[in-house]
Amino acid sequence: MSAVGLVKRYGDLTAVDGIDFNVGEGECFGFLGPNGAGKTSTMKMIYGLATIDGGRLDVLGHDVARDRRAVKARIGVVPQEDNLDRAFPVRENLLVHGHYYGLETRALERRVDDLLRFVQLYERAGDNVMALSGGMRRRLLIARALVNSPDLVVLDEPTTGLDPQARHAVWTALERLKLEGVTLILTTHYMEEAERLCDRLVIMDHGEIITEGTPDELIAEHVGREVLELTIDDDTPVEDLLASLTSFYDSYERADRQLLLYAGDAERLLEAIDHSRFPCERSVVRRAGLEDVFLRLTGRTLRE
Amino acid sequence: MSAAELVRHVAPSPRIAARVWRRDAQNFSKLWRGALLPTFLDPLFYLFAMGFGLGTYLATIQGIPYKNFIAPGLVASAAMWSAVFETTYNTYIKMNENRLYDALVATPVEVPDLVTGELAWTATRSLVYGTSFLVVITAFGLVDSWWALLIPVCLLLGGACFGVIGMLFTALVPKIDLYSYFFTLFVTPMFLFSGIFFPLTKLPNALEVVAWFTPLYHLVNLMRELATGPDLWPVIGNAAWLLVLTALIYPLLAVKMRDRLIA
């Protein structure tokens, strides 16, 4: 799959502003970004719920703008919003959906039973979908996305709003799919999810891709290996105090009473800080993660 | 929009539209006992109240007893109510509350396939409702002609016509509250003034002209003519009118539904 100069506009608003990306076969590719960054618009262009206003998008060898039906036959979609057909119970839900792909009933029934076992809903086959918990419905949506044995599955925030158990169940299912060689494209707000599942990812903001790489590459490139978190007083003269310590850290960031110092060796930095009698209430050394990269690149301003 | 683009936005794949129809039929096959009864009793009550009640005080209309006069018209209205409920409230909920159409459009189903499949189902439902009432009035001895066997075909046509109108309204309304306008200002007046209960010749001239433009007027004529033995040419005219109106509205509907579903 490849996108070149992809653009999506809604009236005067440019939601996706000429992005380029490539996703290889069998890869899990993530889109991270604050609300309104253009992730969902990008997903909708892939699965045909949004028109393409500029650039070119090729999916599984087809130009999406010209050959949408062929693309949609080979992909599966897990939307952000639950849109299960409430008229049909669990198993029938998947059967009805499979018929939209023109799948033959006998083979479809076998496929559906396998999928229900795969997402651990076989026991609930006859239940009304509205009687399922949020986590079960999400798993059913994943099963539904697989009904046509797709080569590519697009997941828009697959674990938003789920409790930790349900989230882990979804992750386990997605990891199994990766093992089977299915290409996954997902958007998420959860850095832990991206680190765990994504082979490569991009971070989007204001409709543009601001960085791209493997989770480890991004962490190494933007924040270094470790982080020292200090809680300080509002009036601490950070700049003056840090002036003598520049050889111990790579960069720093201040957010209210938190001071984050990115360093190759945060323990050594902490020792140096103790020596310089830097006034702080609390200090924590931890591994740097994607969340640090994310906040560095997209800032801490609230997005609503 | 270029001509080629317009065709792509409007022309369905019948094979894929049939898959959408199948979903609705499958749904109906589970609900029909509960769903059919009220809509079925409705025209029956009118038949009793107006035909057997009020009708006993009236002489004949156009040479036929009053109950025989209104019975075929009620077949038409059963088909109309069925189609407008399906394409207003039912469609609104499927599209906006359940986001079901988003799920369909992410499969090989494209918007014209979806619209055509839903309309085909709406027509089928009108056929089922209208025909079951036709059976009832036949049992009451209110149908006099073998031409009545053509009524189901005309019900399909009428259902499709009311379907495009109802669904176009659904494609345009932002909120479910606005349906009350559709029903109060369009459907109910049509029900009362389309010649089901009295011939339009009794209306002021202007109203008669307005009524002529409504699809129900033509469907009522079709039903009555076929139930009593038709004058062929007027009947063909009525059917053609319904066909033309449906064909005129459909492209607009397909484009508006696309605007609604695809950003």
pLDDT per residue as tens digits for the range B93-103: 999 999 999 99
Nearest CA in chain A to B110: A69
Contact (CB, 8 A) for A207 and A31: no
- Radius of gyration over every alpha carbon of chain A, rounded to an integer in angstroms: 23
Nearest to B102 among A83, A86, A99 (CB): A83
| Closest listed residue to residue B165, CA positions, set B80, B72, B260, B94 | B80
Nearest CA in chain B to A86: B98
DSSP-derived 3-state class of residue A34: coil
How many Å separate Cα A109 from the centre of its chain?
Answer: 31
Nearest CA in chain B to A52: B263
CB within 8 Å: B106 and A77: yes
Amino acid letter, B174: P
- Of the pLDDT bands very low, low, confident and very high (cuts 50, 70, 90), residue B18 is very high
CB atoms within 10 A of CB B249: 19
- For chain A, count helices (H), then strands (E): 11, 14
DSSP-derived 3-state class of residue A173: helix
- Among A66, A100, A137, A140, the strongest candidate for a mutation testing the B interface, having the largest count of B CBs within 10 A, is A100
Task: Identify all chain B residues contacting A8, using CB atoms and an 8 Å cutoff.
Answer: 263
Q: What is the pLDDT of residues B106-156, one digit of tens each?
A: 999 999 999 999 999 999 999 999 999 999 999 999 998 999 999 999 999
Nearest to A47 among B98, B100, B106 (CB): B106
Residue B167 tokens, joined = 């669904």
The pTM for the full model equals 0.91
CB within 8 Å: B100 and A99: no
Question: Above 80 in pLDDT, residue B256?
Answer: yes
Is B29 in the A-facing interface, judged by CB distances under 8 Å? no
Contact (CB, 8 A) for B229 and B78: no
Beta-carbon contacts of residue A136 (< 8 Å; ≥ 6 apart)? A121, A124, A166
Distance CA B260, CA B263 (A): 7
| Closest listed residue to residue B258, CA positions, set B90, B11, B13 | B11
Nearest CA in chain B to A100: B19
Nearest CA in chain B to A147: B107
Task: Identify all chain A residues contacting B107, using CB atoms and an 8 Å cutoff.
Answer: 72-73, 97, 100-101, 148
Distance CA B230, CA B228 (A): 6
Helical H segments across A180-304, by residue range: 191-197, 215-222, 238-243, 266-275, 290-298
- Residue B59: predicted pLDDT: 74
Segment B57-63 shows an average pLDDT of 81
Residue B174 tokens, joined = 């932002």
Residue B40 tokens, joined = 């079925």
Task: Identify all chain B residues contacting A83, using CB atoms and an 8 Å cutoff.
Answer: 98-100, 102-103
CB atoms within 10 A of CB B256: 19
Nearest to B105 among A48, A82, A101 (CB): A48
Segment B42-46 shows an average pLDDT of 86
Amino acid letter, A57: L
Is B93 in the A-facing interface, judged by CB distances under 8 Å? no
Q: Which residues of chain A, if any, have pLDDT below 50?
A: none
- Residue B12: predicted pLDDT: 94
| Closest listed residue to residue A276, CA positions, set A244, A235, A233 | A244
CB atoms within 10 A of CB B202: 10
| Nearest chain A CA: its distance from B79 CA (Å) | 23
Question: ipTM score of the complex?
Answer: 0.90
Nearest CA in chain A to B21: A100
Nearest CA in chain B to A98: B107
Exposed, middle or buried: residue A1 (CB in 10 Å: 0-12, 13-18, 19+)? Answer: buried
Task: Identify all chain B residues contacting A48, using CB atoms and an 8 Å cutoff.
Answer: 105-106, 262
| Nearest chain B CA: its distance from A10 CA (Å) | 8
Task: Identify all chain B residues contacting A51, using CB atoms and an 8 Å cutoff.
Answer: 262-263
What distances in angstroms separate CA A178 from CA A173, A202, B106, one per listed residue? 9, 19, 22
| Nearest chain B CA: its distance from A145 CA (Å) | 10
Question: Above 90 in pLDDT, residue B7?
Answer: no
Beta-carbon contacts of residue A17 (< 8 Å; ≥ 6 apart)? A7, A38, A206, A207, A208
- Residue B40: predicted pLDDT: 75
| Nearest chain B CA: its distance from A51 CA (Å) | 6
Nearest to B108 among A69, A79, A82 (CB): A69
Residue A154 tokens, joined = 């697009």
Nearest CA in chain B to A73: B108
Contacts across the A-B interface (CB distance below 8 Å) = 75
- Among A83, A84, A137, A148, the strongest candidate for a mutation testing the B interface, having the largest count of B CBs within 10 A, is A83
Is B15 in the A-facing interface, judged by CB distances under 8 Å? yes
Task: Identify all chain A residues contacting B27, using CB atoms and an 8 Å cutoff.
Answer: 87-88
- Radius of gyration over every alpha carbon of chain B, rounded to an integer in angstroms: 19
Nearest to A100 among B30, B99, B104 (CB): B104
CA B40, B22, B172, B102: dihedral to nearest 10 degrees?
140
When comparing pLDDT for B239 and A252, which is higher?
A: B239
- Residue A304: predicted pLDDT: 59
Bridging pattern class, strands A183-188 and A54-59: unpaired
Q: Which residues of chain A are at the B interface, by a Cβ-Cβ cutoff of 8 Å? A: 8, 10, 41, 44, 47-51, 68-69, 72-73, 77, 79, 81-88, 96-97, 99-102, 144, 148
